[in-house]
Amino acid sequence: MKFSFFRMLAFAALVILPASFASAQNFRPVLLYDIGGKFDKSFNEAAFRGAEQFARETGIEFRDFEPNSETQYEQALKRFARRRADLIVAVGVGYSVAVRNVAEQFPNVKFTVIDAVIDLPNVQSVTFKENEGSFLVGMIAGLASESGKIGFIGGMDIPLIRRFQVGYEQGANYVRGDLEFIENYVGTTPSAWNDPIKAAEMAKSQYARGVDIIFSAAGPSGLGVINAAKDNGALAIGVDSNQNHVQPGFVLTSMLKRVDLAVQQAMLSAHGGTWAPGHQVLGLPEGGVDYAMDEHNAALISEEMRTQIEAARAKIVSGEIVVADVDGGNDGH
C-alpha cells in the first residue's frame, strides 16, 4: 500500500516537475475579471482585450478567471498566488479588500489592481480620472443640446460615480452657461448596476421633462438608458467601452475608460522588468480616458465641435483647465 502510494507520488512528480521547470522560465500573467463576465461589452471585455493585445505582441499566454460572486475574489487571488503567478491583474474596485489581504500574505507576487488604491510594496494601483473624460463628453452634450436641458443617470450612488457627474456638469457649463441639469441615481446598493428597467424609466421621465441628451454611468443599467433614447428619438452617451454601436444614431458618444491600456501596460512592464508598485493615475494626458468617435456617431458630432473639444483637451493636459474631483472616488465600498 505504502509502496504504491510512493510510486504514485513519484509518478506525479515526474509529470508535474518538468512542466513547472518549463514554465518557470516563462512569464506567467493572470487576469481576474470583475463580476459580470468576460464578454460584458464593457469593463471586463476591455480588460480582456488589453491582455489579448499583450499576448499578441509578446506571444505569451495569459490565464484568466471569471468570478461569479464576491466571495470568489480572495479564493482566486490565493490560488493563482500560490501557483507563483508573476503578475496578477485584478480589475474592479470590488477587489480592494481581497487584494490587500492576499498581497500581504504573498509578498513575492506582483499585483496590479485597477480602479482601487492599495498601499503595499507589491501592489500597483491604477485609477482613472473619469472626471476628465466626463468633462469632454459634457462639452459634447452642451454643444449638441438643442433644448438646453441635459441629464445624467448614475448607477449606484458612490463617490466614483459622483466623479463622472462632476466632470460632466463642469464640461457642459464650460461651453454654455444657461444649461439645466437633471440627475438621477438608480439606487444605493449594487443591484443598481443591474436595473435597466428603472434606469429606462428615469430616462423616459427626463426626456419627457425636456432633456435631449443623457449621460449614463450605470454599468449594464445604462443599456436601459440607451434603449429609452431610441424609443424617445433622443440621444444617450455611453460609458466605459465604446457603446456607440449599441443603438447607432442614438448614442452621441461614449466616455472611454481605457482599461485595456492599463492591463496591457501592466503586463508589458512586468514582462520587461520595469513594473513598479505605487499609484498610477491615468487621465487625459496619459490617454487613460477619452471620448469615442467612429462611423456610428460621425454624423452627430461636427468638425466645429471637435475643434472646440480638442482645444479644451489641450488646456486640460497643460493644466490650464482643472477638472474638479470628489473625495474618496476609489475607496472600497
Q: Which stretch binds another protein (CB under 8 A): 112-120, 129-137, 195-203, 289-297?
A: 195-203
**In angstroms, rounded to a whole number, what is the distance separating the alpha carbons of residues 44 and 40?**
6
Q: Which of 29, 50, 142, 224 binds another protein (CB under 8 A)?
A: 224
Q: Which stretch binds another protein (CB under 8 A): 107-115, 140-148, 216-224, 288-296?
A: 216-224
SS3 138: helix
Q: Among 311, 332, 308, 313, which Cα is nearest to 323's?
A: 313
331 binds another protein (CB under 8 A): no
**In angstroms, rounded to a whole number, what is the distance separating the alpha carbons of residues 124 and 24?**
23
Q: Which stretch binds another protein (CB under 8 A): 1-9, 169-177, 196-204, 251-259?
A: 196-204
**Positive or negative, the Cα torsion across 215, 219, 223, 225?**
negative
In whole angstroms, the minimum distance from the beta carbon of 252 to another protein comes to 18
246 binds another protein (CB under 8 A): yes
In whole angstroms, the minimum distance from the beta carbon of 89 to another protein comes to 18
**In angstroms, rounded to a whole number, what is the distance separating the alpha carbons of residues 181 and 214?**
10
Q: Which stretch binds another protein (CB under 8 A): 7-15, 94-102, 201-209, 323-331?
A: 201-209
Helix (H) or strand (E) holding 196: helix 196-208
Q: Which stretch binds another protein (CB under 8 A): 13-21, 138-146, 219-227, 320-328?
A: 219-227
CA trace torsion 200, 205, 206, 210 (10° rounding) = 140
In the chain, the N- to C-terminal Cα span, in Å, equals: 53
For another protein, the closer of residues 86 and 183 by Cβ is 183
Q: Among 240, 267, 262, which Cα is nearest to 251's?
A: 240
Binding mask 247-276 for another protein (x = CB under 8 A): x-----------------------------
In whole angstroms, the minimum distance from the beta carbon of 233 to another protein comes to 12
In whole angstroms, the minimum distance from the beta carbon of 172 to another protein comes to 15
Binders in 26-65 for another protein, by CB under 8 A: 36-41, 44-45
195 binds another protein (CB under 8 A): yes
Q: Among 201, 217, 218, which Cα is nearest to 209's?
A: 201
Judge whether 221 and 198 are in contact, CB under 8 Å. yes
For another protein, the closer of residues 78 and 204 by Cβ is 204
Q: Which stretch binds another protein (CB under 8 A): 55-63, 107-115, 179-187, 273-281?
A: 179-187
Q: DSSP string spanning 222-243?
A: HHHHHHHHHHHT-EEEEEES--
Q: Which three cell numbers stand for residue 173?
A: 457649463
Cα 112 to chain centroid, rounded: 14
Binding site for another protein (CB under 8 A): 36-41, 44-45, 68, 157, 181-185, 187-188, 191, 194-198, 200-202, 204-205, 208-209, 220-221, 223-224, 227, 230-231, 246-247
